[in-house]
Amino acid sequence: MKKIPIGISSCLLGLNVRFDGGHKRDSYIAGTLNDYFDFHPFCPEVEIGLGTPRPTIHLVKQNNEIRCVGVKNPEQDVTEQLRDHAHQQKPLHAQLCGYIFKKDSPSCGMERVKVYGGAQPHREGVGIYAEIMMRNNPLLPVEEEGRLGDAGLRENFIQRVYIYHRWKNLCEEGLTPRKLTEFHARHKLIIMSHADYAPLGQLLAGANTDNIEEVAASYIAQLMVLLKKVASRKNHVNVLQHIQGYLKKELSADDKAELCELIERYRHGEVPLIVPITLLKHHFRKAPDPYIEQSFYMSPYPQELQLINQL
């Protein structure tokens, strides 16, 4: 499969663009994810001409407004330069299917960046460049490298990347009510693991050739917001039991008991999600079902990523 285009803070790939002339290479990103993602590096601080190495900058609250200024030289204000640069990069950002930011950065931090201006700094800021990039691309899956250390957040981000990639491919092929309905059907069980899928289904029920663009825009906007919520163990259990229902006429009493036991063990955190899913795949190889075959739930991304092994 062709690698998926992902934006990333340059320092995370090992490029020496940090204020001190160094980098913050992330081994998981530069190693494992590099096999599946085509990384497009961005360093707004270097790209607006601050150079490497360079004096440090930070976020400061001035007159109820967040500005990005020099630590040693507060007269150095690069707020508008960073904002303008983010706007200028909009055509490049539009080609991406995800973005990984450097945490805590006054330019690239996604959230909880330190803001100075009082007795103590408060983690209430967003990097100036990151804020504009996210505002310009509200559908784009974004994450910080620090949060990717959490198994649930990591799986959630990568799942959203693959879904958004499939969505962009669908749009390039040309939207039709039938294709939109098929897209929803193939992702229905994934949606079910995050939240109630009924509102999205109701939205699609009114799709026709005259309103397809409007319905599609509303659908993907709602879908990407819904998917930001990390799927819960309880919801996964509901999905697993729902899938099991497609085998009710195929399983022997012993096979059913074994599957029920594994789902219960997953419910109690005794085994990872991959265990009941592997057994379900085994049974569906013997008794194929066209709906389950088309669903992305049990194979949402390359299995080599082993993300559900840790859920």
User: Which pLDDT tens digit goes with each residue over 256-301?
Assistant: 999 999 999 999 999 999 999 999 999 999 999 999 999 999 999 9
Answer whether 136's CB lies under 8 Å from 95's CB: no
Residues 132 and 201 in one domain: no
Answer whether residue 244 is part of any domain. Answer: yes
Residues 139 and 173 in one domain: no
Answer whether residue 273 is part of any domain. Answer: yes
Residue owning tokens 């500005």: 67
Which of 114, 149, 184 marks a domain boundary? 149
Residues 224 and 124 in one domain: no
Residues 221 and 311 in one domain: yes
Answer whether residue 156 is part of any domain. Answer: no
Residues in the chain: 311
Q: Could you count the other beta carbons within 10 Å of the beta carbon of residue 280?
A: 21
Q: Report pTM.
A: 0.95
The pLDDT confidence band at residue 193, using thresholds 50, 70 and 90, is very high
Answer whether residue 75 is part of any domain. Answer: yes
Q: Per-residue pLDDT for 197 more than 90?
A: no
Residues 221 and 120 in one domain: no
Q: Per-residue pLDDT for 116 more than 90?
A: yes
Answer whether residue 189 is part of any domain. Answer: yes
Residues 9 and 117 in one domain: yes
The pLDDT confidence band at residue 308, using thresholds 50, 70 and 90, is confident
Which conformational region is residue 125 in: left (phi greater than 0), alpha (psi within -120 to 50 degrees), or beta?
Answer: beta
Q: Total domain count for the chain?
A: 2
Residues 101 and 180 in one domain: no
Residues 121 and 200 in one domain: no
Provide the residue range defining the domain that includes 255: 165-311
Residues 243 and 292 in one domain: yes
Which of 100, 121, 149 marks a domain boundary? 149
Average pLDDT over residues 32-39: 96
pLDDT of residue 306: 79
pLDDT of residue 238: 97
Q: Quote the mean pLDDT of the chain.
A: 95
Q: Per-residue pLDDT for 1 more than 80?
A: no
Average pLDDT over residues 227-240: 96
The pLDDT confidence band at residue 25, using thresholds 50, 70 and 90, is very high
Burial of 122 (0-12, 13-18, 19+ CB in 10 A): middle
Answer whether residue 169 is part of any domain. Answer: yes
Residues 214 and 246 in one domain: yes
Which of 120, 149, 178 marks a domain boundary? 149
Average pLDDT over residues 224-253: 96
pLDDT of residue 2: 87
Answer whether residue 157 is part of any domain. Answer: no
Contacts of 299 (CB under 8 A, 6+ apart): none
Residues 246 and 121 in one domain: no
Residues 145 and 35 in one domain: yes
Average pLDDT over residues 190-203: 93
